[in-house]
Structure 1
């Protein structure tokens, strides 16, 4: 059972409908059409979780986040964030949350990065000692020192994103929403962002809700995922369970002492899919244990090393979209 004292985000039957005007068949007048961006979505998030919120474009991810921060009011249903109704108490909520939108900056465009942080201190009324301590820590973690005095407009995308993350975390928010925080970043910047988020969650217990199309973000940061499509929540649970439910193949990578033809194995469902010198790749069902296959190869062939690769998360999520959503399950305890 989920301890309700630990729940910091509660969404119960949330629906958001937008009204659109479209031309009728005879184009004499526009017809009113109700479009549901989010349909009867329910979930809870516990303090200290990092939750991935996945879905294709237009699935309802951003609409959900905007309801959770109070920008949009749900058409029906109930939302509570840190015990607060987001739409009714936006100012009180703002002091408890941080928000980063990958394609929009919260920094002041013409000001040096250092001055943007100083303004954030005043907006959030951060005590000076806490502000200085957090700023020193984040500058070191995100390597911000060389461009603290650079106007935001002159920063690269990766530098600007690291600045946005710092501004979002400076006031020690209990919850941070991240919408595509690594979009357009190079490999080095992505690694810095992920390391920062993982450490801040670990050290401060910050709850993080992450929407992204970069599946490496999910792989490296999230144990639990929510999957939404066409406004409906299709899955809520551990990433490993999602992989297991949707099947597919795991891959056993085998390094042999010498090159050999494709291995012949009797383990049900296992098959060689690639051979490159002494290295061979064998696929086997994701729901099956690797132990019988490993034992068979070790007993019959000159084995040097082996490793197991899970199905890529992008393949798993794509399979969910195209094959129909599994029955939602409660969040893991």
Structure 2
């Protein structure tokens, strides 16, 4: 009977495991199907060894596409390289904030094999709103990360302070009930606890100051990025002006070439007409020469005949 129950539980366990596997496979296929409908296979890397993270509409899909050892800092870089419109890219950046997809300033400076960051790519494609949105998202992510770290440290310090305060109260009670108030061990523990509380309070003040400094550094870094974007805009404007100038010069040269070709074509046609005329004149001259020679020969024959007749008349 025990064996039958054990076998039954084993079968039920195997069925549950198989069911979970099937559900997991179905979930995987559903996610994969969603990505395929978006236009690209999530399991195929591009030439930069990056996956199509820009199709990740939520954290669940993002995690499914970024198993180790894939570098998650590639997210913004891949999004910048995608063939989506600028507005669509900005919408995916909103998903980053709404779904807590990892993103901070390290994502902004991460580069591919061509040494271009997401900001550099956005500047090349003149997607300045997208670049500014990336800076904003990275700033929010960086602030959230720092705030989380500081809050955790504050909580840890608070718990440690409470622990030492409890220890102090305990020591005070022990000291009150102890006739030997001068007990060195109790005094030593009390002094250590008070000193530790002072250190923790000082560290909390340092954390606040450090947070302010980091915030200033972050703002300075963002300002530098904005300046970089402005410089790229100016550079692109200069390039556009230069390109327009080159286009005009190219159009002028093309027109000149066309005119030259037209003139050369006319010259060739006139030359051909002139050559044809010369050939025709030569042919007429040759014909006249032949006719003239024939006439001369006829006249000579006639003269010979007449001379013969004249000689014959004299003889008679």
> Does the TM-score normalized on the shorter chain lie above 0.5?
no
More helix by share: 2
Q: TM-score of the superposition, structure 1-length normalised?
A: 0.20
Work out which structure has the larger RCO, using CA pairs closer than 8 Å and 6 or more positions apart in sequence: 1
User: Which structure: larger Rg?
Assistant: 2
